[in-house]
A = this chain, B = another copy of it.
C-alpha cells in the first residue's frame, strides 16, 4: 500500500469524494456540471487567440494558419498584421496554395485573379474580368488582429467590435515591467486543446516531470504533486479582465515523498535550507492559456497558449518572460540568454513530457467515453473548477457548422 510521509495528510479538506462526477457515470447519467466545455472540441468562439510570433511574419509576406477549424491568411502591411479567411469566395480554393500578390494591400487568388483588400476583405478586382459585377459588392471574412511585445493575437468570432484583448490574456503579459521573449516555441500536438490546458494547469502531473533534465540541470526542487484541498481563492473572475483559475503560493500542499508497498518515491531535489526556490504560482485562463510564475527560476514566468487547430490537434505555444525588468537593455540581455539557453531548456528538457500526457489522453476522450468515464479525484479540483469557469464565462462554442455558414460570402449592405 502507498504510505504517505507528509505531515499535511491529516489536514481536513472540504471536498466530498463524489464531487468529481464518478457517481453520475455509474448511474449512467450523461451530463456533467461542465457540459458546455465538453461540447467545445473546437474551442470557444468570440475570443482572442495567440496566432504566432511577430518575427515569423516579415513585412509584406503572408502566413497561413488553421485555428479553431478556420483557415486564416495573415499578411503584414506597413508593419501591421491583417487577416482574412484563406478561401476565395468564388471556388473556395486557399490563397495560400499558390500565393499571388500585386500590391501591398491585396491578395489575389491564383486561380481566377479575384483580388481582395487585406484590410476589409472587400473584392476590389478580378484580373480575369475587370468589369465583373461582383467587384465592390462582396467581401471575405476578416479577423481582428493585435500584436504586442512580438506576439500576434487574432480574434475568432463575430463580435464587432471585439472585446478587449487583455481580457483573454494571462494577467501581466502586457505589463511594461514584464519582458516577454519574442522568439518562443510553437509545435503541433496531436491532442485536443482541452487536454492540453488540463495538462498545463494540473497540479498533480508534476510527477511526470520528476526526472526531467531541466530539474537535474538546475538542481531544482519540484514536488511530486502540489494541490489545494479547498476551493477558496481558486477562481479569479472579475467583472472585467481575464477569467481564470489560480493556484497561489499559499493555497496548496506539496508532496515530496511517497511510498508504494515499502518502496519510497521522492522528488529528486527537495526544498530546504540551501535549496533552490520553487515555483510561486500556476494559473490557467480563458480561452486557453497558462502562466507559471517563478519557473524555471524565481525571476521568470512561463506563458503557454493551447490553441485549437481542429478537434484532434492544437498548437502548443510557449514563451518565457522576465520580471521585473527595468530597462530595455535588461530585457535584451534576457532575450539573448533565452535564445542561448532558457527557451530550449524549458521546451525540450521539461515540457516535452507534457506532450506524451496530452497525446495519451486523446483516444480516451476523442474516440471513447472519456468525458463521462474518467474518474477524477480531489487533486483534480483545479481542473473541475477550470471546466466550470470555462463553461460559465466563455463567449460561445465554436462549431463546424457555424464556420461553414460564415463561408457563404457576405453581401455588402
Contacts and interface: CB of A to CB of B under 8 A. Distances in A.
A133 interface: yes
A26 to B, nearest CB: 6
A351 interface: no
A261 B102 contact: yes
Contacts of A374: 89-92
A329 interface: no
Contact of A404 (B126, B258, B368): B368
A205 B128 CA distance: 8
Given A130-B3, A258-B130, A90 B125 contact: no
Contacts of A98: 356
A411 interface: yes
A117 to B, nearest CB: 9
Interface string A234-246: 0000000000000
A338 interface: no
A336 interface: no
Contacts of A106: 260-261
Interface in A133-167: 133-136, 138
A233 interface: no
Given A261-B105, A365-B92, A126 B411 contact: no
Nearest to A20: B134
Contact of A90 (B129, B255, B263, B375): B375
Contacts of A111: 205, 207-208, 357, 360
Given A102-B261, A207-B111, A378 B129 contact: yes
A12 to B, nearest CB: 11
Contacts of A87: 364
B224 A127 contact: yes
Instruction: Tell me the number of copies of this protein.
Output: 3
A391 B6 CA distance: 57
Nearest to A126: B2
A106 B102 CA distance: 62
Given A128-B204, A204-B128, A260-B115, A90 B377 contact: yes
Interface string A351-377: 000001100110111001110111111
A378 B265 contact: no
B128 A207 contact: yes
A324 interface: no
A129 B11 CA distance: 13
A127 to B, nearest CB: 5
A128 B255 contact: yes
Interface string A1-33: 111111001000000010000100110000000
A5 B91 CA distance: 25
Contacts of A2: 115, 124-127, 130, 135
Among all A-B residue pairs, the 4 with the closest Cβ atoms:
A2-B125, A92-B364, A4-B130, A128-B225
